[in-house]
Amino acid sequence: MKVQVRGLHKRFGKTVAVDNFTFSFDNGHVFGFVGPNGAGKTTTMRVIATLEEPTEGDVLINGISVREEPEYARRSVGYVPDSLPAHNDVTVHEYLDFYARAYGLQGAKRREAVGAVEEFTGVTGILNKHLKALSKGMKQRVTLGRALIHNPDVLILDEPAAGLDPRARVELRELLMVLATQNKAILISSHILTELTEICNGVVIVERGKLLESGTVADVLKKSTPHRAFAIRVLGEASTLVKELLQTPHVINAREVGGEVLLELEGEESAGCELLSALVGKGFKIAEFKQSKANLEDIFMNVTKGGVQ
């Protein structure tokens, strides 16, 4: 199952919400969809979920166009919107049962699917509660259950962690990690980038309706942060080390921060080893030498310029 977003444009009157987005993700990929408010994330997700029609371009889900054959494309997609249902006249079980029927599941197959989803999302204890009476975390689980009821290959989650308490967030993250192991193609948007870092192996960065970067985290990282960052703790005067580093070729921007020396280094991974051996050779007593790993937050800050439309 492959999701290909091709030259996607979406305009609302004169407002360009999505301007020529092109990216793709595959089975087993968990792609983080990040960008400030108004960047076009929700619109893109709604197009993939067949809720909106693109102005131009298309999205192919395993080769099926959401523009031309939305009825068929939507069989493979489960969508979790950024707001939650709050019916006071429908119980959790009835809600899931209805969607199972709506997706054409019948008889024992339906009961089995509903039971499996209820168990997976951990809502078995609240089946007879009305949706309005549920906490946000539980509503999110029910919504996720609804999106999974027909066992879709593609899962689109729009801000699933928004407004959840820390425990609910951790539980949701665990559910998503399990889903990722089930070989589903997952696109997830969130403002909490640290959370995405833990589960995503790919990223799409958008801002003001424009796509800035997309690809695996490693690829985007390479593109967005060409220099390697290191932190060195030295026994003795750190300022001497800073002076030495600033005179060393390929070292840029060395500075002392809280007893550590932070520096950026040009070149391949071996450049770090060479620097370390050179410093030791010059008599510096190196207590700690570590490479700082950039995360989604760093990538996001590097790539975006800030501002909303």
Site of interaction with other proteins (CB under 8 A): 49-51, 53, 60, 62-65, 67-72, 74-75, 77, 79, 81, 83-85, 87, 89-90, 94, 98-99, 101-104, 106-107, 143, 146-147, 150
Nearer to other proteins, 90 or 199 (CB): 90
Contact 23, 214 (CB under 8 A): yes
Q: Are 8 and 54 in contact (CB under 8 A)?
A: yes
Reduce the DSSP state of residue 47 to 3 states and report it.
Answer: helix
Cβ proximity to other proteins: between 73 and 212 the closer is 73
Nearest-approach distance from CB 288 to other proteins, in angstroms: 50
Q: How far is the CB of 192 from other proteins (least distance, A)?
A: 21
Least distance to other proteins from the beta carbon of 110, Å? Answer: 8
Question: Is 89 or 269 the residue whose CB approaches other proteins more closely?
Answer: 89
Nearer to other proteins, 64 or 231 (CB): 64
Following CA atoms 205, 56, 24, 19 in sequence, which dihedral angle do they give, to the nearest 10 degrees?
Answer: -10
Among residues 15 and 291, whose Cβ is nearest to other proteins?
Answer: 15
Shortest Cβ distance from residue 66 to other proteins (Å)?
10
DSSP label of 127: T
Contacts of 277 (CB under 8 A, 6+ apart): none
**Nearest approach, Cβ of residue 19 and other proteins (Å):** 16
Residue 16 CB partners (closer than 8 Å, separation 6+): 9, 10, 209
Do 82 and 147 contact (CB within 8 A), yes or no? Answer: no
The label of the residue with tokens 């029609």 reads 53
